[in-house]
Amino acid sequence: MSSAPKSTSAYSTEFERAEHFKNELVAFATTGPLKDEYDLQCKLFFEGANPEDEHEAESVRDWFLFDWFDENGDGAIDYYLDAHPDLDEPDGEMLLDWVESINSVFEIRSIGKFSVQLQELDSGDAYTVKTSVERAPFKRGQFLIARLLPLGDDLIFSGLQFVMPDRESALAWLEMRRAFDAFDSPEAVERARREQVSAFCDLFGCDELTVASGKLNATLERFQRYLLTERRDPETGMTPAERFQKELGQQLSVPDLPPLPAPVVGAGEVTILCDDFDGIVLLPDFTSFKRVFETDEPDRQVAGWKELVWTYIKNPDIPIVAFERVAEQFPLRVEKVLRTLIGDKDFSLEHLYAVLLHYKQPVDGLEDLKDDQQLWDLFDGNHHAEKSAKPAAKPKARVRSKAPAKTPRAKATAKRSAKKTAPARSARVARVKPKPAAKLKATRKAKPAAKRAAPGKARGRKSTSTRSTSTKKR
């Protein structure tokens, strides 16, 4: 775990301060709260490569610190700031500036004392980079792949810099990066999501398939193979693997499926949903769960139905889309069942997400379900909030205050608000992106832009999205 940050006055130079916090971020990401995600990304990158290559390992670390984002658009710096709310303001501001790092290919225009003049090939923009050594080990006219970090009014290098043999090689790298960006653009992600649902329906006849748990992996592998290497685009006549090979000049490698989530492993049967918003979702004993809402007498029709529904309510590994599906078909029965289980005769569907989040992701300070529902009303604009006499408690871990504040974390929220598409509600609410609760329409809200391309994509990594939940705890 990373050590306690020093105060700004403890650093003899700005370079030392930047180096300290870069090391802090590395420790936080590689051995702290993000270790599992970091290890996963390394595994994907080094599949088929040499994991002992120190340069590639450092490149992956640098990418993870600045270009990896979770499903809510938060990166390693966001997580670090959340974990260090008492950080000195100048240090927090420096880390926030690093969110805007520049990773590109540059031409070296001149080398000065403790500085290098660069010109980005992509945009033509000129940059002056400060160095900690009097004379940087480069030559005028060389082409450099590098990441630049803001440091006050200056820029510094981050991680390794790679010297390209010539302009042609630099331009080829730039074209490849543009191609990867096109594959990972929001438009491409939306298109891929639609194609995934269409392919699932083509192969299995509908967007919902129930199989014995012992056949789950084989079924998922069959779909992944069909989606990537067999199904042809009607316009181009190519499979995704063939298109990847043609446009990027690399073979598409289909990785192994991730381990199955705990609720699925012990299930008798598993339903695979191919959702246009959540991707591939695995739901244990979903057929029995649905049957609870298909009848007016679940006590007679479904043995142990209360325990099953409570599992779907409480287990964070079972996504909310399960309730969305049954609420669209049987809204009144969903209300009736939940009124019985939570002991609230006034429960309505507009509080469905508040109830599910209350149990799936409990937060200190909101032990009372009514407080959670009221907080939801405040953020969602429901009329119930105006009638309430008691304001809901504000959990520190979940709600970002709208009042002006001078803490780095508050400034982080304000600084990124113009960039993120999700509203600055609580962290839990933003991750759910629910449908309008009163109507539960089929059309879902758009997700944030996709993560920036991982280093593994440079090796042709791509896989279907096999997930059991759309929420993520911190």
| Percentage of the chain lying above the pLDDT 90 cut | 31
Residues 109 and 190 occupy one common structural domain: no
Its pTM stands at: 0.54
Question: pLDDT for 146-186, tens place per residue?
Answer: 999 999 889 999 878 888 888 888 888 888 777 777 666 67
Tokens 């950080």, located at residue? 87
Residue 132 lies in a domain: yes
Question: pLDDT for 61-93, tens place per residue?
Answer: 888 999 888 877 889 999 999 999 988 998 999
Task: Quote the pLDDT of residue 305.
Answer: 94
Residues 139 and 282 occupy one common structural domain: no
Sheet holding 466-467, edge to edge: 208-212, 269-275, 279-284, 466-467
Task: Quote the pLDDT of residue 52.
Answer: 52
Residues 15 and 111 occupy one common structural domain: no
What is the dihedral sign for C-alpha 294, 280, 308, 372?
negative
Residue 224 contacts residue 464 (beta carbons within 8 Å): yes
Residues 108 and 91 occupy one common structural domain: no
Domain residue limits at 283: 186-467
Task: Quote the pLDDT of residue 27.
Answer: 93
- How far apart CA 107 and CA 126 sit, in angstroms, is 9
Residue 177 lies in a domain: no
Residues 334 and 443 occupy one common structural domain: yes
Residue 440 contacts residue 356 (beta carbons within 8 Å): no
HSE-CB for 121 with a 13 A CA cutoff? 25
Residue 52 lies in a domain: yes
Distances (CA, A) of 162 to 92, 115, 136, 423: 29, 17, 13, 39
Residues 12 and 26 occupy one common structural domain: yes
- Give the residue from 98, 131, 150 where a domain finishes: 98
Residue 173 lies in a domain: no
- Give the residue from 166, 197, 215 where a domain finishes: 166
Query: Per-residue pLDDT for the chain (474 aa), expressed as one digit of tens each?
Result: 445 454 444 445 888 889 999 999 999 999 999 998 888 888 777 664 444 556 678 888 888 999 888 877 889 999 999 999 988 998 999 999 999 899 899 999 999 988 999 999 888 999 999 988 888 889 999 999 999 999 988 999 987 888 888 888 888 888 877 777 766 667 777 888 888 999 999 999 999 999 998 899 899 999 989 998 999 988 889 998 888 788 767 777 776 777 777 778 778 899 999 988 888 889 999 999 999 999 999 999 899 999 999 999 998 888 899 999 999 999 999 999 999 999 988 898 888 988 898 888 887 777 777 777 777 777 665 555 444 434 433 333 333 333 333 333 343 344 344 333 322 222 322 233 344 333 333 222 333 333 333 433 333 333 333 333 333 332
Number of domains in the chain: 3
Residue 181 lies in a domain: no
Residues 161 and 41 occupy one common structural domain: no
Residues 39 and 158 occupy one common structural domain: no
| 420 secondary structure, DSSP code | -
| 3-state class percentages of the chain: helix first, strand second, coil last, to nearest 5 | 45, 15, 40
- How far apart CA 104 and CA 126 sit, in angstroms, is 12
State the CATH number of the domain containing residue 114: 2.40.50
Residue 348 lies in a domain: yes
Residue 172 lies in a domain: no
Task: Quote the pLDDT of residue 208.
Answer: 93
HSE-CB for 79 with a 13 A CA cutoff? 28
Both tokens of 292, joined, read 């609870």
* Neighbouring C-beta atoms of residue 61, cutoff 10 Å: 21
Task: Quote the pLDDT of residue 451.
Answer: 37
Residues 111 and 148 occupy one common structural domain: yes
Residues 192 and 162 occupy one common structural domain: no
Question: pLDDT for 374-408, tens place per residue?
Answer: 777 776 655 554 444 344 333 333 333 333 333 33
Distances (CA, A) of 171 to 143, 157, 184, 198: 10, 21, 20, 37
- How far apart CA 260 and CA 217 sit, in angstroms, is 9
Residue 276 contacts residue 443 (beta carbons within 8 Å): no
Find, among 293, 434, 261, 447, the residue nearest to 355 by Cα: 434
Residue 57 lies in a domain: yes
Residues 211 and 282 occupy one common structural domain: yes
Name the residue type at position 13.
T
- Give the residue from 98, 132, 148 where a domain finishes: 98
Residues 257 and 133 occupy one common structural domain: no
